[in-house]
Amino acid sequence: MKTEKKYASVFELNGVPKLTQAFPLALQHVVAMIVGCVTPAIVIAEMAGLNEGDKVIFVQAALFIAAVSTLIQLFPLGGRIGSGLPVIMGVSFAYLPSMQAIVGNFDIATILGAQLIGGVVAIFVGIFVTKLRKLFPPLITGTVVFTIGLSLYPTAVKYMAGGQSSPNYGAWQNWLVAFLTLAVVVALNHFAKGILKLASILIGMLVGYIISGFFGMIDFSAVQGAGIFQIPRPMYFGMKFEASAVMTLVILFIINSVQAIGDLSATSGGGLDREPTDKELSGGIIGYGITNILGSFFGGLPTATFSQNVGIVATTKVVNRVVLGLAAGIILLAGFVPKFSALLTTIPQCVLGGATISVFASIAMTGIKLVVQQPLTYRNTSIVGLSVALGMGITQCSDALAQLPAWVTTVFGKSPVVVTTIAAILLNVILPKDKEAGK
């Protein structure tokens, strides 16, 4: 008599569930992250002036490194590299303002060189995470995340207008498509449930994409010229090291390493009803550092845990690592298909702007949620207010640094994140702590 094969439950961390159960759940994770993963690559490719073929390779690299990073987090190497928790990794918007500043002054190779050093620093953060954690309470990380969201708004608005490089920048057609895309995203987020809500950004972009087609905004020449299968090319974009760029990204890598603690904690708390262990936190951040080093060689931009996928795990309680590993496999397969990457590069900038402005708003509000975890005393509001004021103010008036060395403008005058981070940490250390009630 044949014994029936025993499958694991999708609500168990380990074991292999039925494919019929795992596949739709894996696809749900892919749908939630795919747009957010490739958009930073598309934005940087546009700024760098890459040709259509190189844009495709750049987007391929983003998908490839997201998949590899996810697999290493799910199934740790040697038990030390990776968290072993059910997370999805992808190219992060958190680095976008600083990367825009770097590519504006230098090139993509300079971003990748700075990323390599940032990955090395992240490994050290992972090793000493319990000691460094004290420097980054929610008040500090929240202030930085809030500033990242604020600094991305101009990028979204410029894209909604059609992109500054576009000859029809600011045309009414661009604004119409952008606002229709945004309307679909907002409507699904607030009135829909299940997969429609989770895929709100993807569906909004599909609607915007179809509408933009009627205005002749889509060019399929890149898709026609792309191949069927291609392995990502190491060192295709080269690597350069510029001190100011390295300083900028290293600070962000430290911040995002500490921020990863929050996402890993949210995943384990929401999905597994427990706090992550020190080994899981340390392994997760070390894995994050190593995969970013790997990404720098392949042209894959800096990655981070994707909060939307953390939300899916916490909501559905589906924590099985094979389910998320299957999602990573789908992303990896997409990274090997240039025609798919080329199709993503045909998305008009107004559609991207309409979809991503809600993402950037969400990033800013995530920062506020972190900030208000601590009482808004005069001390704490001073730290947040001054840090954001200095970061945003200096960036918006970067010509005020014109009399200083060029590297000062690159590090402190192009992206508000660096100034905000340094100011918040210093103020938190220097200003006297609030007295506890009853003391």
DSSP-derived secondary structure for 202-242: HHHHHHHHHHHHHTT----HHHHHS-S--PPPTTSS-----
At 121 the three-state DSSP class reads helix
Residue 183 lies in a domain: yes
Classified as helix, coil or strand, 77 is strand
7 inside domain: no
Cα 400 to Cα 92, 408, 410, 418, distances in angstroms: 30, 11, 13, 17
Residues facing residue 81 across a β-bridge: 77
With H, G, I as helix, E, B as strand and everything else as coil, classify residue 384.
helix
Q: How many domains does the chain have?
A: 1
Strand partners, 77: 81
CA nearest to 269, candidates 127, 138, 135, 86: 86
Task: Round to whole Å and give the CA distance between 259 and 253.
Answer: 10
Query: Helix or strand or coil: residue 162?
Result: coil
Mark out the alpha helices in 128-171 (DSSP H runs): 129-132, 138-160
Q: State phi, psi for 154 to the nearest 5 degrees.
A: -60, -35
Per-residue confidence (pLDDT) for residue 382, from 0 to 100: 92
| Alpha-carbon gap, residue 108 to 302, rounded angstroms | 12
Residue 358, domain member (yes or no): yes
Residue 336 lies in a domain: yes
- Identify whether 395 is part of a domain: no
Please tell me whether residue 90 adopts helix, strand or coil conformation: strand
Spatial separation of the C-alpha atoms in residues 78 and 116, rounded to whole Å: 22
CB 67 within 8 A of CB 328: yes
State the residue range of the domain holding 138.
19-368
Would you mind telling me the total number of residues written for the chain in this entry?
Answer: 439
At residue 67, the pLDDT reads 93
Structure tokens at 113: 């060189």
Question: Is residue 402 included in any domain, yes or no?
Answer: no
Q: Which helix (H) or strand (E) element contains residue 89?
A: strand 89-91
Residue 79 lies in a domain: yes
Assigned domain for 289 exists: yes
Of the candidates 301, 265, 300, the one whose C-alpha atom is nearest the C-alpha of residue 281 is 265
Cα–Cα distance between 190 and 72 in angstroms, integer?
Answer: 34
Residue 352 is predicted with a pLDDT of 82
| Non-local CB neighbours of 273 within 8 Å, separated by 6+ positions | none
Angle at 122 between CA 360 and CA 391, to 5 degrees: 40
200-212 residue pLDDT tens: 777 888 899 899 9
Q: What is the pLDDT of residue 351?
A: 87
Residues of the chain with pLDDT under 50: 1-2, 437-439
Tell me how far apart the alpha carbons of residues 217 and 57 are, in angstroms, rounded to a whole number.
Answer: 22
Q: Please report the DSSP string for 288-313 in residue order.
A: HHHHHHHHHHHTPPPEEE-HHHHHHH
pTM: 0.76
Distance CA 298, CA 332 (A): 14
89-91/303-305 β-pairing: antiparallel
